Amino acid sequence: MIDLAVACLLLSLPMMTIFMFVGVQNVPRTVGVLQPMLLMLLLALSRIAIRYALVDILHVVRQRGGSRVAVYGAGKAGRQLGFAIQHDGNASLICYIDDDESLDGHRIDGVPIHSTNDIGDLIENSRLNEILLALPSIPRSRRLEIVEELQAHSVKVRALPSMANIMDGKVSIRDLREVQVEELLGRDPVPPDEELLSSAITGKVVMVSGAGGSIGSELCRQIAARHPRQLILIEHSEHALYTIHMELKERFAKNGETEITPELANISEAVVAARMMERYRPQTVFHAAAYKHVPLVEANPISGLKNNIFGTYHCCIEAEKVGASRFILVSTDKAVRPTNVMGASKRICELILQARAIGRSDTVFSMVRFGNVLGSSGSVVPRFRAQIEEGGPVTLTHRDVTRFFMTIPEAAQLVMQAGAMAEGGDVFVLDMGQPIRIFDLACSMIQLSGRTLRSEDNPDGDIAIEEIGLRPGEKMYEELLLGDNPLPTQHSRIMRAEEVMLDWPELSKILATLGRALDVGDLEAAMAVVQRAVPDYAHSLPANVSIPEKNHRTAAG
């Protein structure tokens, strides 16, 4: 319309000059003014009519039977998303929803804006199928509040990515994704301290064992981004090692600052650990290699104990021999008052590092303990998502089971920061907020997928939740601390635990006895030794297994 007005104005200038000042016989002077005005009117009306016929009417026809959506957020990202939806043709944009009550009743390109006060009636009256969250920069706590409010209604929820991903000013409906479970944690991510992240990495030789695992691979990404001189990837799985090595080569090797070296090796073997440490002489070691799946380790305790405990032992001793500055163990909340073999093995791993630390070693040993990692292999979230996509049922062990959760990047950053803060023998834990009930997590995932929960109150629902009973060695709830008085650190969300520990002479005897029992496959003897090392290990042992007396002392963890 502006272009037409400018063109008609330029046309009117010579016509006004001719008709009003020069004059044309038998033609009124006002034609010089009226003709451009009438031309502008006719051109505008014709374009409006054609646009309405070809765009609006055909758009409505295409949208019949399509999804009826609302965009939550009337800001820049919301307006761009709304524009993309209107021109996509596969969905009908019914309205915008915004927290700002002053926008209620306004319109964007003819689409009304509603406040959140009547969101329930709005969803029902407008027959909305889906709500798209265009709120890329709000805190996670506020996002959780919005999602919880929408969960009360049978509407699918999808969201735009973070603001960093749409800084180019373009928003497409292809950018929409399912609401990620990490957005339901109820707390914002733990902010990293960049100085801590880089202090033990930049310009150094860094080794990561278990480099292809969920935590190990994210550790490698975070480490490579902070420019170590050399990054050594130790991994027993060929496919996992190939995957992370190729990713790191494509992303980081081109800068020439970091040499990335893959090693296909089983670091739990003494000769392999010695060879790796002697060959590369790392300055910082992150030990993430372990068997972690509770039911599998419970069914294969000899393999689990040997891999986890002696893998840590050999790496720890050999790293100390070559003068590594820092050795950081990735531990778990299952090591606290363990009820399964995996948790008990990780607690012994912690004891090994603590015992070496009090022996005046030049290597600073520390360990990082955290809860469940969202999206890691074997976690409940991918399994729940697959079960929902298949139409259910969603299976969980018990409706009252609770767990602490954190994201994979948070876990990796915690490990790196804690390793930089360590003074020797430290057990670091994260302030992870309140634990999440797994049943509530399953309900949220079902509702956010646009489906309804089938229950006694709603027998016509889409997906049911079934309880299958606790697995062997599984707890109803997890803990992060053995003691009650965690000490603060220079990071506001990381604490230092104060726990019991063993002297190295005593622990080395326990490890020697355990090693002999595992080598001959004597499970009963091995479990008795584990119980001796971890007295609070709550596990049923055969009646003929005697439990040696404990001899622990307390020290700052």
Tokens 């992060």 -> residue: 480
pTM for the full predicted model: 0.67
Structure tokens of 224? 């490579």
**Distance of alpha carbon 281 from alpha carbon 184, whole angstroms:** 42
Among candidate residues 86, 133, 129, 89, the one with its CA nearest the CA of residue 108 = 86
Give the model confidence (pLDDT) of 201-225 as tens digits. 889 999 999 999 888 898 899 899 8
**Distance of alpha carbon 25 from alpha carbon 32, whole angstroms:** 13
User: Do the Cβ atoms of 146 and 135 come closer than 8 Å?
Assistant: yes
**Distance of alpha carbon 516 from alpha carbon 526, whole angstroms:** 8
Percent of residues, the chain, with pLDDT higher than 90: 23
Give the model confidence (pLDDT) of 97-119 as tens digits. 988 888 888 888 778 888 888 78
Amino acid at 338: P
Q: Which of 204, 334, 346, 475 is catalytic?
A: 334
Structure tokens of 486? 């965690």
Q: Is beta strand 230-235 parallel, antiparallel or unpaired with respect to 364-369? A: unpaired
Higher pLDDT, 231 or 108: 231
User: Do the Cβ atoms of 354 and 365 come closer than 8 Å?
Assistant: yes
User: How many CA atoms lie within 13 Å of 8's alpha carbon, on the beta-carbon side?
Assistant: 18
**Distance of alpha carbon 495 from alpha carbon 370, whole angstroms:** 11
Per-residue pLDDT band at 49 (split at 50, 70, 90): confident
- Told to judge if 306 belongs to the known catalytic residues of this protein, a careful annotator would answer no
Amino acid at 325: S
In this prediction, residue 492 carries a pLDDT of: 67
**Distance of alpha carbon 177 from alpha carbon 160, whole angstroms:** 6
**Inter-helix orientation angle 214-224/238-252, to 10°:** 20
Tokens 């990335």 -> residue: 260
Tokens 């791993």 -> residue: 349
What is the helix (H) or strand (E) element at residue 288, kind and residue range?
A: none
Tokens 């310009």 -> residue: 203
Burial of 281 by CB count in 10 Å (0-12 exposed, 13-18 middle, 19+ buried)? middle
Compute the mean pLDDT over every residue in the chain, rounded to the nearest whole number: 79
Query: CB 458: neighbour CB atoms within 10 A?
Result: 11
Per-residue pLDDT band at 165 (split at 50, 70, 90): very low
Instruction: Give bridge partners of residue 466 from the DSSP assignment.
Output: 395
**Distance of alpha carbon 411 from alpha carbon 331, whole angstroms:** 11
Among candidate residues 488, 461, 447, 534, the one with its CA nearest the CA of residue 152 = 447
Cis amide prior to 409 (ω within 30 degrees): no
